[in-house]
Amino acid sequence: MTKTITTRRVVRSAVTNFFRNFWVSVAATSMVAITLFIISTILVLYTLAVLSISNSQDKVGVITAYFNDKTTDQEMADIKAEVELLPNVREVIFISHEEAERRFRERHKDNSILISSLSEFEKPVQASLSIRSEDLNNYEGLYNELKSQRYSAYFDRVSDTRVVIEKLSRIIDFITKFGIILALIFMAVTVMVTFNTIRLTIYNRREEVEIMRLVGATNWYIRWPFIIEAMMYAVLATLIVSIVAFGLLYLLSGSIEEFLSLDSLGTNLINALFSRIVIVNILASLGLSILASYIAIRRYLKI
Amino acid sequence: MIKFDSVTKAYNKVLALNNVNLEIHKGEFLSVVGQSGAGKSTMMSLIIGEERPDEGQILIDDIDIAAIRAKDIPYLRRKIGVVFQDIKLLPMRTAFENIAFALEVSGEKPSMIQKEVPKILEMVGLEEKSKAFPHEMSGGERQRVAIARALAHKPVLLLADEPTGNLDSINAWEIIQLLLKINKAGTTVILATHAKDIVNSVKKRVITLENGEVVYDQEKGKYVL
């Protein structure tokens, strides 16, 4: 009973103080929120990049060889049959001009200028062979075979998807390094701002603290309101950033799918990302705020 | 009740108390006099555990204060009421709330606080000022609220460090009368003061400090400096 009463009084004291120094509290909360927003952005970028790379890795075994316009339909059929017999080939799919054009129109249906320009060419989109190798180790040999002189008369170009994978890996690497550095800088700034806010609060309440000591308040009765106040910055900041993050994820999911050539982000992925953001944010903000307030009270609150 | 056993305390190598031996009995009214810097406030700080002696021991009911763990000091302070010259009331709280504050921090129930605070206010003669804020009261009334707050935990010992320092003679005398009344009810009172007239008219034990040493200790003493 006594514990409940004391807890209620400590929390009330923290809440009163939060509103008594309203603008200082707003500044501290904003700083925590900015840091959380940066952490969330990094988290989303990282998750999507990893997702994208795994998505691309599925396609890495597929080499697309584009026929030049001089190749006849019969030659294309012969080449397909021949390639099917090459070692380490698992599957060969022929995509005709018509099918390639249909897919192109479907993909760019919103871009009327691009679609209308198709009529300018006789065969605007090339026919191709999609060749899947047995496994990634055979990829290079197969790629070199298709690029060899034997096929150079028929194929205009042969795509090498390894470049995409390497590029994505570099992007992930950059996001990870840059993100971690940025997050660490903002975390340090957040700790400093929260630390200073609590120090200011301790200074503002020095008379009250002194009287509390004199009348026999326990150390934690004096300390807890400051820690709870810092935790309030954390919780409020998490709430704000979570709402903003959910809104942005919901609004931008379509564009993200298109940009990263993902089939669909789906509601599950948005939910998973959102719950990850909330968990990381609450842990980071509470951790940083408690750390900052604890350092401040250890240093400036004489008990 | 309180025993100073060869207590020495220095601040930056300047001696505030030098080898003080003193015994204060239960129910006593003791005036501690001396010039500024004589060691009166240091003596008070040592009793409430705010400072620790460099040498010697301070025993309260045979318990060495220096041996009390930091986390238990608050419980010691609930047994010792303290009043200061600068009063230290919370300006945004009424007289009632200032006294209630002392009980709140020790986790007392609201019902108990509602019952006890009016009794304490009555004891210090301020039942009419229950809802008054510090700025609405005279210096003497504010000091009585501070005494009431010091009494909230029913302390066995009341320390009054220059409680009349900022008051006119009439108000000062009223505060002394109140301290005597509290002492009569059984609480040990230690009064640190400069006020010669007050010490002389109280006719209780007086110890005189000079440069951190006890130079006089007289039953029914006088201010001799």
SS (H, E, C) A91-131: EEEEECHHHHHHHHHHHCCCCHHHHHHHHHCCCCCCCEEEE
The pLDDT assigned to A3 comes to 78
Q: What is the pLDDT of residues B76-88, one digit of tens each?
A: 889 999 998 888 8
Q: Residue A303: its chain B contacts at CB < 8 A? A: 70
Structure tokens at B59: 């025993």
**pLDDT for the residue numbered A114:** 77
pLDDT of residue B132: 96
pLDDT reported for residue A136: 61
CA–CA distance, A31 with A284 (Å, rounded to integer): 13
Q: What is the CATH number of domain A61-160?
A: 3.30.70.3040
Our CA-based measurement puts residue A16 at a distance from the nearest CA of chain B, in whole angstroms, of 13
B78: which chain A residues are within 8 Å (Cβ-Cβ)? Answer: 215-216
Of residues A36 and A258, the one with the higher pLDDT is: A36
For residue A255, with 0-12 CB atoms within 10 Å meaning exposed, 13-18 middle and 19 or more buried, which class applies? Answer: exposed
What pLDDT, on the 0 to 100 scale, is given for residue A260?
A: 65
Interface of A with B in 1-20 (CB under 8 A): 1-3, 5-6, 9
Residue A266 has pLDDT above 70, yes or no: no
Residues 6 or more apart in contact with residue B141 via CB below 8 angstroms:
B95, B126, B129, B132
Q: How long, in residues, is chain A?
A: 303
Q: Which token pair is A228?
A: 């709870």
pLDDT of A62 above 80: no
Span A280-293, pLDDT tens digits: 999 999 999 999 99
Distance CA B179, CA B165 (A): 15
- pLDDT beneath 50, residues of chain B: none
The pLDDT score that the predictor gives to residue A115 is: 78
Domain with CATH 3.30.70.3040 in chain A: 61-160
What residues contact A111, with CB distance under 8 A and at least 6 apart? none
Query: Which of B105, B112, B142, B157 should one mutate to test binding to chain A, selecting the residue with the greatest count of A CBs within 10 A?
Result: B105
What is the pLDDT averaged over residues A206-235? 90
> Which residues of B fall within a CB distance of 8 Å from A214?
48, 77, 82, 88
CB A129 within 8 A of CB A64: yes
Name the residue facing A216 among B71, B75, B110 (closest C-beta): B75
Instruction: Tell me: pLDDT of A202 over 70.
Output: yes
Q: What is the pLDDT of residues A88-110, one digit of tens each?
A: 888 899 998 888 888 888 877 77
B91: part of which helix (H) or strand (E)? none
> Cβ contact (<8 Å) for B82 and A214?
yes
Rounded CA separation A192/A285 (Å): 13
Place A112 in a pLDDT band, splitting at 50, 70 and 90.
confident
Return the residue in A3, A205, A208, A215 with the most chain B beta carbons within 10 A, the one to mutate for interface testing.
Answer: A215
Q: Which residues of B touch A2 (CB under 8 A)?
A: 107, 109
The three-state secondary structure class of B3 is strand
Q: Do residues B160 and B191 lie in contact, with contact meaning Cβ atoms separated by under 8 Å? A: yes
Nearest-Cα distance to chain A for B130, in Å, is 19
Beta-ladder partners of B82:
B159
pLDDT score at B2? 92
**Encoded tokens for A66:** 């584009």
Does residue A229 have a pLDDT over 70?
yes
Sequence-ordered list of residues with C-beta below 8 angstroms from that of A194, at least 6 positions apart, any chain? A28, A31, A32, A230, A233, A288, A289, A292, A293, A296
In percent, the amount of chain A with pLDDT more than 90 equals 19
ipTM score for this prediction: 0.82
**Closest CB from A5, A208, A213 relative to B109:** A5
Q: pLDDT tier at A134 (50, 70, 90 boundaries)?
A: confident
Rg (CA), chain B: 17
Q: Examine the pLDDT at A151 and tell me if it is beyond 60.
A: yes
Count of CB pairs separated by less than 8 Å, A with B: 55
Cβ neighbours of B75 in A, within 8 Å: 216
Distance from CA of B225 to the nearest CA of A (A): 31
Q: Where are the domains of chain B?
A: 1-79+155-225, 88-154
pLDDT for A137: 64
* CATH class for the domain made up of B1-79+155-225: alpha beta
What does residue A37 show for φ and ψ, rounded to 5 degrees? -65, -40
Give the pLDDT score at B17. Answer: 93
